[in-house]
Amino acid sequence: MGDFGLAAAAGAAAVSCFLYARNRRVRFRPAWLLFGLSSAMAALGNVVWGWYEVVLEVPVPTPATRTCSSCASRRPPSSACWCSPSGR
């Protein structure tokens, strides 16, 4: 699966999480919003990486946007785990 395929999968996950979190009766709504944010950042990073490699056909600059986005996308799911305590 290429960069754009991964971006599409992450984008679909982001949309799904955001749509699920729209309902105010959803338990652990902040966690779903954070999971959606994380997926959106991963999708953005994959789109930028694919754009450089496939469309522009140039080497990806260092530090790459995908690398920054990948590092940043790890923070929201960590926070989401704190919003949705296990064992309930």
Q: What is the pLDDT of residues 57-68, one digit of tens each?
A: 787 777 655 566
pTM beyond 0.75 = no
pLDDT one-digit tens code per residue, 23-60:
878 778 888 888 898 889 888 888 888 888 888 878 77
Which pair of tokens denotes residue 34?
A: 């954070």
**Could you give the angle at the alpha carbon of 71 between the alpha carbons of 13 and 54, nearest 5°?**
70
* Residue 53 CB partners (closer than 8 Å, separation 6+): 3, 60
